Amino acid sequence: MSHHHAPPGLGEASFFAHDHGTAAPGGAPEHQRLHLNGVLLPAGEVTDLWVVDGVLRTEPVADAVTVCTGAWIMPGLVDAHCHVGLGPHGAVAADVAEAQALADRDAGTLLIRDAGSPVDTHWIDDRADLPRIIRAGRHVARPLRYIRNYAEEVEPEALVDEVARQAARGDGWVKLVGDWIDRDIGDLAPLWPADVAAAAIARAHELGARVTAHCFGEESVHQLVRAGIDGIEHGTGLDASTIALMAERGVALVPTLINLENFPGFAAAGESRFPAYARHMRALHARRFATITAAIEAGVAVYAGTDAGGTIGHGLVGTEIGLLAGLGGAGFALGAASWRAREWLGAPPVADGAWADLVVYDTDPRLDVEVTRHPRLVILRGRVI
């Protein structure tokens, strides 16, 4: 890989024609031989990269078409909490799931951790023009304790076996619903006894899967982190002791800041029947930024996830990056949505022979993360999209 330390002039990125090769399914050209020049993040050095046969090369490739010079280049973006195949009322048709995946791809999201879907989307793996997906099977919840038609619903005595089934259905992850409204209490409450959750997490680990959980309130996240869970989604109920334990154990947090903006609406919708829940959700919302900032400052591994699917649109990873940058700074947010998230999920780094999955920007995203909303080039499996 050639490195030079003199940065290009700001705003002087040049982009060249790349219409080259035969058409592949989805309209992407096949077998592109590309050359890119620009500042490669996170290293921040001017670098030349080549692409041939869908992989990166760090030595010059003959007949490569230069697609950018003086640009800013990042490993493809990651949406670490996304639901392809999920709509407001549950499962969606394949053409809708395809449109969801395309919206994410066009925003620069080239790797998705699908945090629960009621449909089997493995057909996407056969599509070179769609993002790579790491699945968590289907949400696991209790009857009447989650959104209708989203989850596989079981009572606690069946949780261990259901987790084993979802581990087989997914790609190394299982997604639990950790808390939801308990109608008898009228507020958020854990779905699973702590010992049952611990047994289910242990079973998933035996099968080589990691476990994450939806947690809004305080009690569920407290119990599940101590039960050995690998990840927490949302995490608005975190306190100092649980944050410290997450940092010590390497438990990941995907706060889905876009979704946290919906808490006042959730509170209003439930207020007439569940006033205690409404007050609780407003309190969690009021301290959301302080809670997530405390996790970041404690060294918890935090990653970007939009919670797309259901009622949240796809293709919003740039918005999530912007919200994260407001808490941890631009470099932190970019890493949370790119190189750190890719490493966490097992994707290879930018290196010779690795995946040619890149996003390219006109200007430096470290100076203005808003540029991530509008990538100039998206390169997936070596093809310019």
168/286 same-domain check: yes
* Model pTM above 0.85: yes
355/332 same-domain check: no
CATH number at residue 67: 2.30.40.10
Orientation angle between helical segments 194-206 and 218-226, nearest 10 degrees: 50
What SS3 class is residue 307? coil
At 288-344, the pLDDT tens digits run 999 999 999 999 999 999 999 999 999 999 999 999 999 999 999 999 999 999 999
292/175 same-domain check: yes
195/254 same-domain check: yes
d(CA 211, CA 204): 7
At 168-192, the pLDDT tens digits run 999 999 999 999 999 999 999 999 9
13/124 same-domain check: no
The yes-or-no verdict on residue 20 having pLDDT over 90 is no
138/273 same-domain check: yes
**362 backbone dihedrals φ, ψ, rounded to 5°:** -70, -35
225/293 same-domain check: yes
148/63 same-domain check: no
Q: Tell me 290's DSSP state.
A: H
CATH number at residue 122: 3.20.20.140
- What residue type is 270 in one-letter code? G
Q: Per the structure, how many domains does the chain have?
A: 2
Give whole-number Cα distances, 170 to 32, 118, 139, 193, in Å: 32, 11, 11, 24
Query: Domain range for residue 88?
Result: 77-343
d(CA 209, CA 262): 30
- The better pLDDT of the pair 22, 31 is held by 31
Question: Cα–chain-centroid distance for residue 25?
Answer: 25
251/302 same-domain check: yes
Residues facing 254 on adjacent strands: 233
